[in-house]
Structure 1
Amino acid sequence: MNNELLFQQIQKKRSFLCVGLDTDIQRVPKNLLNAADPVLAFNRKIIDATADYTVAYKPNIAFYESLGWKGWHTLEKTVEYLKSKYPEIFLIADAKRGDIGNTSDLYARAFFEKLDFDAVTVAPYMGEDSVKPFMNYTEKWVVLLALTSNEGAADFQYLKNEESGDQLFESVLKTSQNWGTPENMMYVVGATKAEKLKEIRQIVPDHFLLVPGVGAQGGSLQEVAKNGMNSHCGLLVNSSRGIIYASGEKDFAKKAGEAAKAVQQEMELLLKEKGL
């Protein structure tokens, strides 16, 4: 999926919501635990309940890896379900990969060829040769970690280069623009760092930003939109726990749909305010 098609979906659905499929087997409602694959059954119901309100889904790979080969099978089946029933929806593998070139090449092959994701999150710490293999695929995306929402982000991401005066996350943004374009690279910027979005937009005005941290982590959707939205929206705002665990009972899918709809309605107003 290219930049323009993604923007068209945002306009059509009046939403820039990304739902995180961070499905923990320990939080799957009891009425699904007798299913052949409880996580897959949960995912399908969540997807069907929220698909009208979201433009992207983002499975966090750790939730599937933790289940061994069965988890990988569940992930594969989840992607197949989305591709067959909702082919217009953007799929992000939240894998945070990044290694030497030949290893990254295999990671890219896994997520783009074997699993057919549209995008994968990548850590930039090892530099250009660890990122480039992911960019050898047409209409596939790298989502590069820039400024994350966790408390430990302060350990390294704000360190200042004495020569340039740039903080580390600013160096990532500036240097990586030589690696990709707004057509194949996005950046992760945590919603809890919404005050930094104005600065970030000065460096990367045209790129999409994947913004986790709205909802359970306390990020403000209004602040994110105010400081981060551009003329093509340029935002995918992720909510995971706040939507998929809106209820832990038999009505979990219904409640997830209601939560997603509420976020979409707020996003519609924000898009309208921007004239989009």
Structure 2
Amino acid sequence: MLSLENKYTNRFSALQSLLTVGLDPEWEKLPDIIKKEKDPFFQFCKQIIDATGEFALGFKPNIAFFERFGWEGIRQFELVIEYIRKNFPDSIIIADAKRGDLGNTAKEYAMYYFDRLNVDVLTVSPYMGRDTITPYLEHDRGSVFILCLTSNPSAIEFQKWKDKEHDIVPGYLHQAVAKLSTELNREYKGRVGIVTGGTRPSEIGLIREENPELLFLIPGFGAQGGDLEEIIQNSGKRAFINSSRGIHFLSSGLDFAEKAHDRAKEIHNSMKKILSMSV
């Protein structure tokens, strides 16, 4: 399996775009015609994938929207992963699960996501430190995006915390997370990136200055209000800029996939234009 760095390089060279399509098939928002299908979550995601795949640097299916429905939801999550892998093999698959456990537990997660599902990247939480990240990297398959500075308002309760007794350079906890991520990325050769929220573009710029090598996964664009040009100007081209609801829930009718295609194309073209002018 190629590292996150290598697969990003190959896909970005082909697309010259940073669009990552999130797959969050919230049951209440699915078109009624899709709800009548045998595998509604898979069928919805399949049509979104087909409609946007030519523009997608990667896809980010969020397991929460499948887990809610137990084993039947998990089965459809696995079908979605398999479909992307077989039909858009150059796109990066990011499993959005935000796992954050230790030792053998983390190894079991790694075997599920990297061996059984063969995803490229898993999102992980660094709250328990390096010990909760290295089991995925020692597994020698797949890569991780580490939660660093997220879009939600209460993120500041921990991510903006300063340790007065220990000299965390350059200051905030999220900056220490980014620094550790850079160290791990060098140690594990291009297999580590970070999650940075698109609603905080100026702070993305500061993190980028301090960590020029890292790949960023940036949610918060689109439905959450992040400005695309401002995000790209601060993150540079080494980023996966995610849009979920802003692409796949534009219509509740038969034309939902067509609307997704048009929006993905629009974002793709905007990204190419911004990148050509500013990065």
Regarding TM over 0.5, the answer is yes
Of 123, 127, 130 in structure 2, the residue corresponding to residue 128 of structure 1 is: 130
Task: Point out where structure 1 has 5 or more consecutive residues left out of the alignment.
Answer: none
Report the counterpart of residue 189 of structure 1 in structure 2. Answer: 196
Letter in 2 for 1:247: S
Question: What is the alpha-carbon distance in structure 1 between the residues aligned to residue 140 and residue 214 of structure 2?
Answer: 17
Question: What is the alpha-carbon distance in structure 1 between the residues aligned to residue 57 and residue 209 of structure 2?
Answer: 25
More displaced stretch, 52-61 vs 156-165: 156-165
Report the counterpart of residue 204 of structure 1 in structure 2. Answer: 211
Q: Secondary structure at the residue paired with 1:39?
A: helix
Of 257, 260, 270 in structure 2, the residue corresponding to residue 256 of structure 1 is: 260
Report the counterpart of residue 22 of structure 1 in structure 2. Answer: 24
Task: Point out where structure 2 has 5 or more consecutive residues left out of the alignment.
Answer: none
1:74-89 aligned at under 5 Å gives the runs: 74-89=76-91
1:1-276 aligned at under 5 Å gives the runs: 1-2=2-3, 3-138=5-140, 140-162=142-164, 163-164=166-167, 166-181=171-186, 183-229=190-236, 233-274=237-278
Describe the shift of the 1:139–1:222 C-alpha distance in structure 2 as closer, same or farther (beyond 3 A).
farther
Question: What is the alpha-carbon distance in structure 1 between the residues aligned to residue 148 and residue 203 of structure 2?
Answer: 11
**2:17 and 2:57 in contact (8 A); partners too:** yes
Letter in 1 for 2:181: S
Q: CA deviation at 1:81?
A: 0.8
More displaced stretch, 133-142 vs 39-48: 133-142
Q: CA deviation at 1:78?
A: 0.6
Q: CA deviation at 1:274?
A: 4.0
How high is the TM-score relative to the length of structure 2?
A: 0.94
% identity of equivalent residues:
37
**2:185 and 2:193 in contact (8 A); partners too:** no
Q: CA deviation at 1:101?
A: 1.3
Q: CA deviation at 1:136?
A: 2.2
How high is the TM-score relative to the length of structure 1?
A: 0.95
**CA-atom RMSD, angstroms?**
1.4
**2:114 and 2:120 in contact (8 A); partners too:** yes
Question: What is the alpha-carbon distance in structure 2 between the residues aligned to residue 11 and residue 273 of structure 1?
Answer: 17
**1:139 and 1:184 in contact (8 A); partners too:** no
Q: Secondary structure at the residue paired with 2:17?
A: coil
